[in-house]
Chains A and B, each alone.
Chain A
Amino acid sequence: MSARDAHEARRRRENAQPGELSLAEPPSKGHGPIVRPYGDTTGDGMVQVSFTLPLPHDKRAEGAAVRLAMQMGIEPALLVHAKAIGPDFTFFVVYGPVKHLVDIREFEIVEREYELLSSKEVNTAIKKHLRRKLVVVGACIGTDAHTVGIDAILNIKGFAGEKGLEYYREMAVHNLGAQVSIPELVNTAYDLKADAVLVSQVVTQKDAHLHNTSAMSAAFREAFPTGQVPHLIVGGPRFEEGAAGGLGVDRIFGRGTTPGEVASYLIHALVDPTTRVTPTPAKAKTA
């Protein structure tokens, strides 16, 4: 924020013109579109940050910490704690008011289009609506030997404290592992009557993940009659979540996706489309 904006914000907080939104409105009236952090007084902007600098603990290091906090917009920066971590590092805790403002009208948010369900809810939905097991086939295709992604989603061990899809009683999960060829994947999906096919691409060079994905979706569309192609999902840190259509797949999941999200999505997409999040009044956009 420029100095002029900061000045303007201060003016609006302290001396709002008639008809203009005051930034000093008490929280009891609900929040306005422009917000600052809240410590114990409306508009105080108080934040707390902690960080480590690669400096031995001395006056200079403390000065550097205050300087950094100021550059982050914390002014005045109150250095409340500094402690040496070994001879070469110092840990700091800094408190202070941040001068930035956020106008919540100025950005769009990407909403998840499906509702997050518990494993019990997932199982119940499959039982009730599908009345058979939901068949999921997973693999790493191409030369990628890194099953970390597909295993995180499928293995019972799971990821981020969530159990993998194998854990869901109403899902029949087949993890084909690494370096599965596309024909092998298509044939297995066909034999097992897969409802959904999950493909992971972790390590990739020269956009191999994109080429592999397009080749895979083309092979599926060739092998299955129209309308009977399994739901195709790819995941991996290098994919852009909005690129599904262009690659011929139904959904892309990016870095940090948890098994619970995938399970909930599968229910939304294949079992019970009513498990949908009602769009919020803010300009909701589906991912």
Chain B
Amino acid sequence: MDPAQVKQARALARTAGRPVVNLAKRHTTVSVERATLRLAGLSGADHELVPWVNHLVDAVRAQTGLEYGVSLPVWDALRRGVAPDLATLAQKAAGGAVDFRIPEGKEAATVGKAARSAVARGIRTIDAQRARRDKLIARHGDPKQKPWIYLIVATGDIYEDIPQAQAAAREGADIIAVIRSTGQSLLDFVPEGATREGYAGTYATQENFRLMRAALDETSKELGRYIRLTNYASGLCMPEIATLAGLERLDMMLNDSMYGILFRDINPIRTFVDQRFSRQIHARAGIIINTGEDNYLTTADAVEAAHTVTVSQLLNEYFAKEAGLQDWQLGLGHAFEINPDVPDSFRLELAHALLARTLFPKAPLKWMPPTKHMTGDIFRGYLLDGFFNLVGAMTGQGILLVGMMTEAVVTPWISDRDLALQNVRYVLNAAGGLTEDFHPPRDGFIQTRAREVLGESIGLLERIVGDSDRASGPPLLAAIADGTFGAMKRPPTKGKGLDGVVAKGPGYLNPATDLLEEGSTR
């Protein structure tokens, strides 16, 4: 691959991304403010399960607006002795019994210090959890093979998920992902407590995180291998879920820069603001993010849309690094979704996977199995999964999401998982070393195709950067508004969660952002 072309592609991603980062810096959201309160230790919910962080942010917003953030009015109220602690303050505020105001001058400085010291305690908990993870990995060890084997559990009931996750780890999984209940991404609050009812997944809650991490710690000890835990920081509560993940030592989080905009119709500005904060938290927590490029391929033709995956990976990389994430934390996604009836489909898959591997040599790429062309013919599906595993082995992928032959039929049965793991083990055992031998010739089909996709990616990035619709703001937002990605038009003035976006005023204070950007602990 031409290094000049690679450089050009990265430069274009930076040009497209930077104005969006600047826009994100000028705004806050209700979820960023709620995450800040969570770092300061406010948790729990009222009897109707409305979280106290929602009550407090809503009350502040109704009185003083959020232009200054919640920290100043909240710690001002605490300083005035309105309530002894955050929880009591939230309860009082929910009843409308608190008058909030914005402190000024010297007073503001004192209040700011108090807020910072409270939020810093949460940041230090995240630091401590990161150190604990490092210690446990040193004690139990990383998986012996690459790619790491990633398995999903999704029963809806955390107490069913736990034994399933432990069994999956015993059967060979290195990473357990607990799929969220469908629709959680559109909830503008984080549910509370241990939950036993979900739809095609289990709610992401702080208590569920804690229970599962504790169970996997036991299993890690039993197996002599640190089992990583994954959940989803996406949707309207991205910043809060990222924060809870950091506090409860989750190890990986799904976190894509544009998924919510394109596929869940969440407002673009809301998404970019929330995403930046959540990624700053992930960076601090030592969490590996997983991006969602597979979605581009399930909603469009995987050959025609191959370059949209590359463009999304480049943008995800830019936004991630800007937020402080390191290469080893970038689980950039891609998927095996080419129609198997297309001639040379396997060679095309190899070309696309190799392109990602070459573009991001230090990132633990996340390789995702076929879903779109899994028809219910489980026998054909099993073969397809075998080929998927082979691409993963040949191109040195970092994280391999195990494909199920019963994809689109049932949520995996115990036997489906066992067969799927046998498939992975066979391929890795038989062909795991192939990365060493696999050097497709420069003028062959695979390399030519990889260069072609990179060329198309550069073309698309140039179109994005040159998008001149000034009304939509930065060119990337204009491109999103035009339907450049996934054929969906998502203007910055529309979408879910827009009413939770607030432009920062001149005196805006958020100690969490300050601590994260400075890298401070106090």
Task: Report which A residues bind B (CB closer than 8 A).
Answer: 50-52, 83, 85-86, 89, 91, 145-148, 151-152, 155-158, 160-161, 163, 166-167, 169, 175, 177-178, 202
Contact = CB atoms under 8 A, between A and B. Distances in A.
B496 A156 contact: no
- Which DSSP category, helix, strand, loop or mixed, fits chain B's interface? loop
Contact of A91 (B373, B415, B496): B415
B417 to A, nearest CB: 8
B488 A156 contact: yes
Contacts of B486: 156
A83 B264 CA distance: 42
A90 B150 CA distance: 23
B445 interface: no
Contact of B371 (A51, A85, A155, A161): A161
B186 interface: yes
B422 to A, nearest CB: 9
Contact of A166 (B371, B373, B374, B488): B488
A89 B417 CA distance: 13
Contacts of A51: 415
B265 A91 contact: no
26 contacts: A51-B415, A52-B415, A83-B418, A85-B414, A85-B418, A86-B170, A86-B171, A91-B418, A147-B183, A148-B181, A151-B182, A155-B265, A156-B262, A156-B486, A156-B487, A156-B488, A157-B263, A161-B374, A161-B408, A166-B265, A166-B488, A167-B299, A167-B487, A167-B488, A169-B487, A175-B265
Contacts of B415: 50-52, 85, 91
A242 to B, nearest CB: 25
Contact of B372 (A52, A151, A161, A169): A161
B408 A156 contact: no
Which 5 interchain pairs have the tightest Cβ spacing? A148-B182, A157-B263, A85-B418, A52-B415, A148-B183
Contacts of B183: 145-148, 151, 178
Interface in B158-214: 167, 170-171, 181-183, 186-187, 199-200
B438 interface: no
B324 to A, nearest CB: 29
Interface in B391-435: 408, 413-415, 418
Contact of B408 (A50, A52, A160): A160
A202 B299 contact: no
A15 to B, nearest CB: 37
Contacts of A169: 487
B200 to A, nearest CB: 7
A160 B187 CA distance: 23
Contacts of A166: 265, 488
A248 to B, nearest CB: 27
Contacts of B181: 148
A166 B483 CA distance: 12
A156 B263 contact: yes
Given A86-B170, A161-B408, A166-B488, A156 B299 contact: yes
B295 interface: yes
Interface string B238-279: 000000000000000000000000111100000000000000
Contact of B299 (A89, A152, A158, A177): A158
A160 B409 CA distance: 9
A259 to B, nearest CB: 11
Nearest to A91: B415
Nearest to A147: B183
A202 B170 CA distance: 35
Contact of A202 (B171, B199, B373): B199
Contacts of A145: 183, 187
Contacts of A147: 183, 186
Interface string B364-388: 0000000111100000000000000
B330 to A, nearest CB: 23
